[in-house]
Amino acid sequence: MGDVSSGMASTVIQLYLKEILGSFLHPSTVVRSSAMKVVQLVLAQGLVHPVQIVPYLICMSTDVEVTVSHTADKNLQDIDKKYPGFIHMKAQLGIKLSYQLQKILQNKTETGIIRGFRKKDQDDLPTSLNGFLYSLLRNTRPQRRALVLSLLKQFDDVSTAPLDQMLYLADNLSYFPYQVQDEPLFIIHHIDIIISTSGSNLLQLFREGLIKPNAEQEKEPLDEEEDEEEAEALVVRLPHNTRPLRDAMRQARGCVLLLVLKQHLKQLYGFTDAKINQYSPSESVKMYEKAVSRRLAPLFEPKVTIAHLRAAALQHDEDELDDDGRRRLVDDYLEFKQLMLKFDPEEEEEEEAGSGAAAAGAGEAGARPAPAAPPPPAAT
């Protein structure tokens, strides 16, 4: 008789499970708390396979209601012990759902901008909203790296994630509970890879979309020095249809956010450029397993990204830009170009300086007089 009742309960729950889980994404704390109690009973009785509930538990672990988030954390921990790999499998979907929940909860804040970290008190260090999820996965090197790479990949394509979602992900990446050097260094390493390819391509795409000034452009290379370009001159060269250029700058916002994130991690953990340059993800585990601790650093506050989000909230994406909009587009390009120049210092000058020094050394060696011949032995 018990088996029959259990089977019937399982059938009923599976029938309504989608609606129950959907109740997690609700503005009412009472509704979310009630849904959490039902899910807790379902998991305790084993009425459904837990893998389909995991993304929603990840989502609820970011809830502002402490009883709900703690219950979700405990259930995630239990599932991770019984079914290793389930949390990792559904982590990306869970983070996406957590962003949707925070969009509901933070919509009433003064700024209206969704952030991925939380500060309880003024003097407390910020904590990542998905920090507990990361702490479950961080002990397994391949799993934590796979999670980080899946998040960084979304910055490379604006069609994957809108700018406000990228900011939410960057917030989480900036304040995940890292414990060893390998964790933040791995993120910085892959940020460098993304920026060096995507950033350069976007700058080139924007330059090629400008109207050529005159026939002399055939004689000059596309990658000509543009350090002294004036904004007014570039505004004149904007085509009538600025959509491709706007798309390029929209994609560049992900690169800008990553550059700010890299700088923040450098400051927060005290990494030097030399340390970052010598890091290799394929090195032995022990080399970068030294413990890290947070230093005093400014709050992660990417001002350019936040300004874009505020501006986007006040205006619609019109078919064509007015004069102010065209000027802003050029300013975005020049600002992005300056950031890229800081990120990628001119190595050619260093190489030339090195080769010049070597040549000078060789010249000095050639010009140096030969040692005098030893005097002949004295006559006896």
Q: How far apart are CA 51 and CA 351, in angstroms?
A: 55
Q: How many helices (H) and strands (E) does the chain have?
A: 16, 2
What does the angle CA 324 – CA 325 – CA 328 come to, to the nearest 5 degrees?
90
Q: How far apart are CA 149 and CA 75, in angstroms?
A: 26
Amino acid at 44: A
Say how many C-beta atoms besides its own lie within 10 A of residue 170's C-beta.
25
Amino acid at 204: Q
Q: How far apart are CA 279 and CA 186, in angstroms?
A: 8
Q: With bands split at pLDDT 50, 70 and 90, how would you rate the model's confidence at 371? A: very low
Q: How far apart are CA 64 and CA 118, in angstroms?
A: 10
| Per-residue pLDDT tens digits for 51-100 | 999 999 999 999 999 999 999 999 999 999 999 889 999 999 999 999 99
Q: Cβ distance 311 to 246 under 8 Å?
A: no
Q: How far apart are CA 57 and CA 39, in angstroms?
A: 9
- What global pTM score does this model have? 0.82
Q: Is 76 helix (H, G, I), strand (E, B) or coil?
A: helix
pLDDT of residue 314: 63
| Per-residue pLDDT tens digits for 146-204 | 999 999 999 977 666 889 999 999 999 999 999 999 999 999 999 999 998 888 899 99
